[in-house]
Amino acid sequence: MSTTTPLLAQLTETAIRARRAARILTVSSTEQKNAAITAIAEKLRKNTPRLLEANEQDIAAAKARGLSTAMIDRLRLTPERMEAMAGGAMQVARLPDPVGVVLERWTRPNGLEIIKKSVPIGVIGIIYESRPNVTCDAAVLCLKAGNATILRGGSEAFHSNTAIADTLEEALAEAGLPGAVSFVPTTDREAIPLLCSLDKYIDVMIPRGGHGLISTVVEHARMPVIKHYNGICHVFVERNANLKMAEEIIVNAKCQRPGVCNAMETLLVDAPVAAAFVPQIAARLKKEGVEIRTDAETRKAYPELASPNNADWDMEYLDLIMNLRVVEGVDAAIEHIEQHGSHHSDSIITEDKAVAEKFLNAVDSAAVYWNASTRFTDGSEFGFGAEIGIGTGKLHARGPMGLRELTTYKYQIVGTGQVRK
Amino acid sequence: MSTTTPLLAQLTETAIRARRAARILTVSSTEQKNAAITAIAEKLRKNTPRLLEANEQDIAAAKARGLSTAMIDRLRLTPERMEAMAGGAMQVARLPDPVGVVLERWTRPNGLEIIKKSVPIGVIGIIYESRPNVTCDAAVLCLKAGNATILRGGSEAFHSNTAIADTLEEALAEAGLPGAVSFVPTTDREAIPLLCSLDKYIDVMIPRGGHGLISTVVEHARMPVIKHYNGICHVFVERNANLKMAEEIIVNAKCQRPGVCNAMETLLVDAPVAAAFVPQIAARLKKEGVEIRTDAETRKAYPELASPNNADWDMEYLDLIMNLRVVEGVDAAIEHIEQHGSHHSDSIITEDKAVAEKFLNAVDSAAVYWNASTRFTDGSEFGFGAEIGIGTGKLHARGPMGLRELTTYKYQIVGTGQVRK
């Protein structure tokens, strides 16, 4: 208690400040918001030397801790990456304002006019583990949608995140929006459950990261949580598939970028085409350097599947490793996906329209594909301009979460003195 | 632990059964769902004598516990109320199916066709305290939107709720949808946090009730919560108001049905019209039997405000009691509402369009009115046909929650072999 109390007081103060900024942002014009984003981009460019210095501290600490080359590369800021960050902000400034859109409008028999209008959500808490550019990218997207943000990044990027956040703060104060972006200036893990208790000030939490992070937020949050969790994505090659098309889609879904959430983890092959297709796809994937895991029985039937490792149907490999399972028909495929999928992205390859429609309707995922790669579940591939992530929950923002998904709505009702009978 | 384990096992089994029913409901046709609802209505009519008997047990227990006449009346089932329940179900059967609606549809430059379609949410947990008719009304609405429900009602209506739930179960089993509606057959309070932990099977919780209930659900739920919480609604009489119109709206907002969430709790009067308006409205409200509470200073200035009780700006009276406060201008009114409101329904009375628009944009409530009574925040008044309640959270369902708000969406993407570059 003695250690959490000052931290709680500090976080509460941050949250109250964010709430105040959110009230100003709600009634800010598109021009005001774009001016603030432009100020951020300019300040990032100006402060680049200082930001690279701060980043050097994180890199040195990461090396000292023996982090992998890949992780260190993800942490690293370079002049090019700084320019990409500033350029990304300017792209968001050019996107249409998602706030104030009349979503619906109707008049009741008593003459009341009801207008359903998009409005900012308010204060958004973003808890993330990934690269330092998230600090800027997420804050700018939220800002464009009229929201204040409270950011809490991973400890390994702490110096970089703090320097970026200071830069944003500086720009926003000059633009008349102090407190619109706050960064939690501590690596104390206790900060996460404490933030999650501040539902009086924070309207929604967006956690982005691994199981531990998501689980902590889901367990403690009193406000709604929009999860960006894992993708255990499936491709099902149905008996009426064009097998050449299936091959290209599978290779794309697994290999084009294996480390992301919309990459395929499990291939389901319909039994009647397994004898023809399994050797074909195994040979192709071998060339691509993919390890295919399955069960003992299938390995026996298809010696091409050389890996001695058993499949883990519930695993998100995020690597050139995948599962293969032979199933009997579309119902068995749907059942497997219901049991082991993560409701993210799943695809059926078939030339049979009726079977495809059954799959599209029954599979309970944010994005369900027919004859296309799962890799398209992405804000820019959907045409949203930018995205803050891929929602894996059921409500509010399912699938790619763009600017529009960073708003909510209210009803404005215009009368001439109506009272209820 | 020894007492919760069997209960958790029982609730988990219920939830798994609901999940299975939800998968069938997702692909059920409108006709199948309507047939199930019709079967429910028929069974309710047929079982009326048995249901009234069960209700007698609750009434007898309520009398023995000395509950108020008003509470006992709320508990009571009569042949007329049973008929209203069955008739209400048939009304829902006649409403358009909210599932399968194409919300948006576009084609990407690569030829991918993206279809955003409304789909059921899945399994909905409804925790309520109110009248036994909620058991049927809520279940039928969720069913029409393709969702399975797990219901947990208040202990004082336990026998009535159980009998109604048994009737629904009977009808649904005959209609081929066993498990589509489940009732938690225990008054053990521990059931609520346990249900809240089953996010693997339950997609959303809808708590309807008082502070204690909402708070328990918000604290424990790992899944999203759509709160139906309190309404601290305001009417602000601005200096440019038509005072006669203001009077009629205030009387309606306070008196037409004081025990509901969209009734007014606090009247804000703009200082320049206070001298003219406060005596006028005080006299009128006195005739209506309303007690007006304010602070010592205002009481001194307006001796018409006779009540010696101080105002509690954060109180939902749900009775013929209200607060009155004199404020200086629209900004002060907005500030008061931000500090003390519950983001439900607030109204400004003015003839000044610019001031009205400022209020409509700045007040962060589900429904913001200009020259109309707050009492219109209601599914049927909005033209939604039926409602499950008024959402007081920010996300997914804000304000009246009708059939459409009981759905979510998914993306169906149709390709011709597209892969990501």
CB distance B292 to B282 below 8 Å: yes
Nearest to B410 among A108, A371, A398 (CB): A398
Which residue's entry shows tokens 């013929």? B320
Residue in B273, B281, B280 with CA at minimum distance from that of residue B239: B273
Cβ contact A224–B393 (<8 Å):
yes
In angstroms, the separation between the Cα of residue B197 and the nearest Cα of chain A is 9
CATH classification of the domain holding B112: 3.40.605.10
Which residue's entry shows tokens 């023809």? A276
pLDDT single digits (tens) A313-322: 999 999 999 9
CB distance B377 to A421 below 8 Å: no
CB distance A344 to A232 below 8 Å: yes
Q: Taking 90 as the threshold, does the pLDDT of residue A385 lie above it? A: no
Mutate to test the interface with A, among B411, B416, B421 (most CBs of A within 10 A): B411
Would strands A367-372 and B291-293 be described as parallel, antiparallel, or unpaired? unpaired
Specify the pLDDT at position A1: 43
Tell me whether residue A35 is in a domain.
yes
Distance, in Å, from the CA atom of A410 to the CA atom of A115, rounded to the nearest integer, reads: 8
CA-based nearest residue in chain A for residue B198? A219
CB distance A238 to A268 below 8 Å: no
A16 SS3 class: helix
Residue A3 pLDDT level (bands cut at 50, 70, 90): low
B222 contact residues in A (CB cutoff 8 A): 218-219
Report the share of chain B in percent with pLDDT over 70: 99
Residue in B256, B44, B32 with CA at minimum distance from that of residue B137: B44
Question: In Å, how far are A67, A82, A84, A139, A158 from A52, measured between CA atoms?
Answer: 19, 9, 14, 20, 13
Mean pLDDT, rounded, of chain B: 95
What does the DSSP 8-state code read for residue B387? Answer: -
Residue A49 pLDDT level (bands cut at 50, 70, 90): very high
Nearest to A415 among B372, B408, B420 (CB): B372
In angstroms, the separation between the Cα of residue B392 and the nearest Cα of chain A is 11
Amino acid at A156: E
Shared domain check, A292 and A190: no
Shared domain check, B129 and B182: yes
Mutate to test the interface with B, among A376, A390, A396, A409 (most CBs of B within 10 A): A376
Specify the pLDDT at position A210: 83
Amino acid at A132: P
Nearest to A121 among B219, B372, B394 (CB): B394
Those residues with Cβ within 8 angstroms of residue B377's Cβ, 6 or more apart along the chain or in another chain: A411, B231, B262, B344, B345, B366, B367, B390, B399, B400
Report the share of chain A in percent with pLDDT over 90: 89
CA-based nearest residue in chain A for residue B407? A395
Cβ contact A420–B361 (<8 Å):
no
Q: Got the DSSP string for A178-216?
A: TTSEEE-----TTHHHHHHT-TTT--EEEEES-HHHHHH
Cβ contact B372–A256 (<8 Å):
no
Shared domain check, B285 and B355: yes
Cβ contact A394–B23 (<8 Å):
no
Specify the pLDDT at position B74: 87
A364 contact residues in B (CB cutoff 8 A): 23, 26, 119, 122, 410
pLDDT single digits (tens) B351-399: 999 999 999 999 999 999 999 999 999 999 999 988 898 998 899 999 9
CB distance B225 to B205 below 8 Å: yes
CA-based nearest residue in chain B for residue A406? B395
Residue in B273, B269, B310 with CA at minimum distance from that of residue B292: B310
Cβ contact A26–B364 (<8 Å):
yes
Strand partners, B116: B104, B411
Amino acid at B394: K
B218 contact residues in A (CB cutoff 8 A): 199, 222
Residue B187 pLDDT level (bands cut at 50, 70, 90): confident
Specify the pLDDT at position B5: 84
Q: Please tell me the pTM assigned to this model.
A: 0.93
Shared domain check, A300 and A211: no
In angstroms, the separation between the Cα of residue B154 and the nearest Cα of chain A is 23
Residue A197: Cβ-neighbour burial (10 angstroms; 0-12, 13-18, 19+): middle
Residue in A5, A199, A100, A144 with CA at minimum distance from that of residue B393: A199
Tell me whether residue A82 is in a domain.
yes
Report the 10 Å Cβ neighbour count for B37. Answer: 25
Cβ contact A23–B338 (<8 Å):
yes
Instruction: Give the domain extent around B56.
Output: 4-229+397-414
In angstroms, the separation between the Cα of residue B120 and the nearest Cα of chain A is 10
Cβ contact B367–A218 (<8 Å):
no
- The DSSP element (H or E) to which A32 belongs, if any, is helix A30-46
In angstroms, the separation between the Cα of residue A371 and the nearest Cα of chain B is 5
B375 contact residues in A (CB cutoff 8 A): 419-420
Residue B1 pLDDT level (bands cut at 50, 70, 90): very low
CA-based nearest residue in chain A for residue B226? A224
Shared domain check, A191 and A287: no
Strand partners, A55: none
Shared domain check, A407 and A322: no
Which residue stretches of B288-344 are H helix? Answer: 296-301, 329-340
Nearest to B222 among A112, A219, A408 (CB): A219
A352 contact residues in B (CB cutoff 8 A): none
Specify the pLDDT at position A74: 87
Cα torsion B236, B237, B238, B244: sign: positive
Which residue stretches of B47-186 are H helix? Answer: 48-64, 69-75, 79-94, 133-144, 158-174
Distance, in Å, from the CA atom of A341 to the CA atom of B196, rounded to the nearest integer, reads: 22
pLDDT single digits (tens) B246-274: 999 999 999 999 988 999 999 999 999 99
Tell me whether residue B421 is in a domain.
no
For the complex shown, is ipTM > 0.90? yes
Specify the pLDDT at position A131: 83
Half-sphere exposure of B114 (CA within 13 A, CB side): 23
Cβ contact A371–B415 (<8 Å):
yes
CB distance B407 to B146 below 8 Å: yes
In angstroms, the separation between the Cα of residue B374 and the nearest Cα of chain A is 8
Specify the pLDDT at position A2: 45
Nearest to A372 among B112, B224, B248 (CB): B112
Q: Taking 70 as the threshold, does the pLDDT of residue B2 lie above it? A: no
Distance, in Å, from the CA atom of A13 to the CA atom of A334, rounded to the nearest integer, reads: 49
Residue in A405, A413, A419 with CA at minimum distance from that of residue A145: A405
Cβ contact A413–B112 (<8 Å):
no
Phi, psi of A205 (to 5 degrees): -110, 135
Mean pLDDT for B129-135 is 85
Tell me whether residue B419 is in a domain.
no
A253 contact residues in B (CB cutoff 8 A): 419
Number of domains in chain B: 2
CB distance A402 to A279 below 8 Å: no
Distance, in Å, from the CA atom of B150 to the CA atom of B202, rounded to the nearest integer, reads: 9
Which residue's entry shows tokens 């090659």? A237
Cβ contact A395–B393 (<8 Å):
no
Tell me whether residue B16 is in a domain.
yes
Specify the pLDDT at position A421: 93
Question: In Å, how far are A41, B292, B316, B337, B364 from B340, measured between CA atoms?
Answer: 38, 17, 11, 5, 12
Nearest to B224 among A245, A251, A393 (CB): A393
Shared domain check, A30 and A106: yes
Specify the pLDDT at position A229: 83
Q: Taking 90 as the threshold, does the pLDDT of residue A345 lie above it? A: yes
- Dihedral angle at the C-alpha atoms of B100, B103, B109, B112, nearest 10 degrees? -10
Mutate to test the interface with A, among B353, B374, B412, B421 (most CBs of A within 10 A): B412
Shared domain check, A409 and A290: no
What does the DSSP 8-state code read for residue A328? Answer: S
Mean pLDDT for B213-239 is 93
B358 contact residues in A (CB cutoff 8 A): 27
Strand positions, DSSP E, A310-366:
321-327, 345-349
pLDDT single digits (tens) A79-134: 999 999 999 999 999 999 999 999 999 999 999 999 999 999 999 999 998 789 88
pLDDT single digits (tens) B330-339: 999 999 999 9
Cβ contact B366–A199 (<8 Å):
no
Q: Taking 60 as the threshold, does the pLDDT of residue A327 lie above it? A: yes
Q: Taking 70 as the threshold, does the pLDDT of residue B202 lie above it? A: yes
CA-based nearest residue in chain A for residue B400? A411
In angstroms, the separation between the Cα of residue A418 and the nearest Cα of chain B is 5
Mean pLDDT for A390-398 is 91
In angstroms, the separation between the Cα of residue A252 and the nearest Cα of chain B is 6
In angstroms, the separation between the Cα of residue A82 and the nearest Cα of chain B is 25
A420 contact residues in B (CB cutoff 8 A): 252, 256, 373, 375-376, 381
pLDDT single digits (tens) A133-173: 888 999 999 999 999 999 999 999 999 999 999 999 999 99
Residue in B377, B382, B231 with CA at minimum distance from that of residue B314: B231
Shared domain check, B316 and B369: yes
pLDDT single digits (tens) B19-46: 999 999 999 999 999 999 999 999 999 9
Which residue's entry shows tokens 């006449």? B69
Cβ contact A410–B416 (<8 Å):
no
Distance, in Å, from the CA atom of A120 to the CA atom of A25, rounded to the nearest integer, reads: 8
Distance, in Å, from the CA atom of B395 to the CA atom of A236, rounded to the nearest integer, reads: 34
Nearest to A417 among B23, B248, B368 (CB): B248
Mutate to test the interface with A, among B394, B398, B409 (most CBs of A within 10 A): B394
- Dihedral angle at the C-alpha atoms of A258, A260, A265, A269, nearest 10 degrees? -80
Shared domain check, A315 and A204: no
Shared domain check, B290 and B141: no
Specify the pLDDT at position B3: 52
Distance, in Å, from the CA atom of A55 to the CA atom of A53, rounded to the nearest integer, reads: 5
Tell me whether residue A419 is in a domain.
no
Distance, in Å, from the CA atom of A274 to the CA atom of A313, rounded to the nearest integer, reads: 19
CATH classification of the domain holding A377: 3.40.309.10
Shared domain check, A364 and A242: yes
pLDDT single digits (tens) B46-102: 999 999 999 999 999 999 999 988 889 989 999 999 999 999 999 999 999 999 999
Specify the pLDDT at position B70: 84
Specify the pLDDT at position A386: 84
CA-based nearest residue in chain B for residue A118? B361
pLDDT single digits (tens) A257-277: 998 899 999 999 999 999 999
Tell me whether residue B291 is in a domain.
yes
Nearest to A418 among B373, B394, B418 (CB): B373
A119 SS3 class: strand
Tell me whether residue A386 is in a domain.
no
